C-alpha cells in the first residue's frame, strides 16, 4: 500500500517517539494537506503517533479522494526531513498515489461559472440583501454556484432549491419551503449574514462554510482541503467578482483575518 511505502520513507531516519512507534505530522497550509516528519514552517501541523505493529496504516489525509503527489527530502534545523509538500531547497525522491475516501461534509455546487444573470429573481435578491445587509453580488454568486438559479434543484446529498439548503439548515433558518425562491433567497441571505459576521467579512471562509459547514472551517483553521470545497470557493470568488463588475460595484479588497 502506497501510504505504508510513504511512511517507510518518512521513517528512514530515527525520530523521537514511544518505543515501537513513529511520528508523522499532518500539516495544512493554504487549504492543502501534507504529511511530514517534522512540523512544516508556515503550516498548521498536528502530531500523529503510528505504531510499528499497526495492522493497517491510518488514513492521515482525510476525505480528499484520489491524491497524486511527490515525496520530498530536505533539511530543517539540521535534520533530514521528508514531506509531501515542496519546501524551499527540498528535492523529489518518490512519486505516489493515494486513494482516500471521497465523502466529505461538502456538497458539489450544481451551477457553473458563466456570465452573470442579473435578470434572475432580481427583486428577491435585492430585497433579501437589503433586509439582511449582505452584498447583493455575493448572494447572487452563491445562488449561481449552488443551483444555477434552478429553484427546483436537488443535489445528490439532499441540498434543496435555489440556495441549495440542507433540510436541517432550512429549518434552523425558518425556511418552510426551500423550493420557494423568495423563501430560499431570504434564508440564504440570513445564513450568509451569520457567516460573514463570524468570519469578519471574509467571503472565502463564508463560502467555504456555506459549502462544507462552519465546523469544517474551524477544524482546518480556514478553507477545508476538500476538493469540492476548494473548487466551490474558487467558483464563488470568480462569480462574486463578475457580479460586482456587472452591477458596477468596485472590486473587493482582500480581507485578512485570523483563523476562526
| DSSP string across 13-32 | S----STTEEEEEEEEETTE
Rounded to two decimals, what is the model's pTM?
Answer: 0.68
Q: Which pLDDT tens digit goes with each residue over 219-232?
A: 888 888 787 888 89
pLDDT band at 13 (very low <50, low <70, confident <90, very high): very low
Q: How many Å apart are CA 102 and CA 94, to the nearest integer? A: 24
Q: Which pLDDT tens digit goes with each residue over 183-228?
A: 999 999 999 999 999 999 999 999 999 999 998 898 888 888 787 8
Q: List the beta bridge partners of residue 33.
A: 28
Cα torsion through 63, 234, 182, 176, rounded to 10? 10
Q: List the beta bridge partners of residue 79.
A: 76
Q: How many Å apart are CA 45 and CA 32, to the nearest integer? A: 12
The residues annotated with a catalytic role in the active site are 146
56-84 b/e (C-beta count within 10 Å ≥ 16 → b): ebeebbbbbbebebebbbbebeeeebbbb
Q: How many Å apart are CA 225 and CA 230, to the nearest integer? A: 6
Q: At what angle do helices 181-198 and 122-132 cross, to 10 degrees?
A: 40
Domain boundaries for CATH 1.10.530.10 within the chain: 122-246
Say how many C-beta atoms besides its own lie within 10 A of residue 258's C-beta. Answer: 8
Residue 83 or residue 106, greater confidence: 83
Mean pLDDT value across residues 40-51: 88
Please name the fold of domain 122-246: Lysozyme (1.10.530)
Q: Which pLDDT tens digit goes with each residue over 115-171?
A: 999 999 999 999 999 999 999 999 999 999 999 999 999 998 899 999 999 999 999
Amino acid at each position: 500500500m502506497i501510504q505504508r511505502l510513504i511512511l517507510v520513507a518518512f521513517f528512514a531516519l530515527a525520530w523521537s517517539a514511544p518505543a515501537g512507534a513513529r511520528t508523522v505530522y499532518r500539516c495544512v497550509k493554504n487549504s492543502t494537506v501534507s504529511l511530514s516528519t517534522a512540523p512544516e514552517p508556515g503550516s498548521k501541523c498536528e502530531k500523529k503517533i503510528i505504531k510499528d505493529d499497526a495492522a493497517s496504516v491510518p488514513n492521515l489525509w482525510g476525505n480528499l479522494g484520489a491524491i497524486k503527489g511527490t515525496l520530498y527530502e530536505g533539511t530543517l534545523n539540521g535534520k533530514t526531513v521528508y514531506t509531501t509538500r515542496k519546501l524551499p531547497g527540498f528535492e523529489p525522491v518518490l512519486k505516489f498515489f493515494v486513494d482516500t475516501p471521497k465523502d466529505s461534509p461538502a456538497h458539489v455546487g450544481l451551477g457553473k461559472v458563466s456570465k452573470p444573470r442579473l435578470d434572475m429573481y432580481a427583486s428577491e435578491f435585492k430585497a433579501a440583501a437589503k433586509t439582511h445587509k449582505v452584498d447583493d453580488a455575493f448572494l447572487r454568486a452563491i445562488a449561481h454556484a449552488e443551483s444555477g438559479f434552478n429553484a427546483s434543484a436537488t443535489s445528490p446529498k439532499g441540498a434543496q432549491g435555489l440556495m441549495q439548503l440542507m433540510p436541517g439548515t432550512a429549518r434552523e433558518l425558518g425556511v418552510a419551503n426551500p423550493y420557494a425562491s423568495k423563501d430560499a433567497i431570504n434564508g440564504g441571505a440570513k445564513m450568509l449574514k451569520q457567516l460573514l459576521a463570524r468570519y469578519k467579512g471574509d467571503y472565502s471562509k463564508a463560502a467555504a462554510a456555506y459549502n462544507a459547514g462552519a465546523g469544517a472551517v474551524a477544524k482546518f483553521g480556514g478553507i477545508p482541503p476538500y476538493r469540492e470545497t476548494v473548487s466551490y470557493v474558487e467558483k464563488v470568488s470568480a462569480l462574486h467578482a463578475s457580479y460586482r463588475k456587472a452591477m458596477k460595484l468596485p472590486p473587493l479588497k482582500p480581507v485578512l483575518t485570523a483563523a476562526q
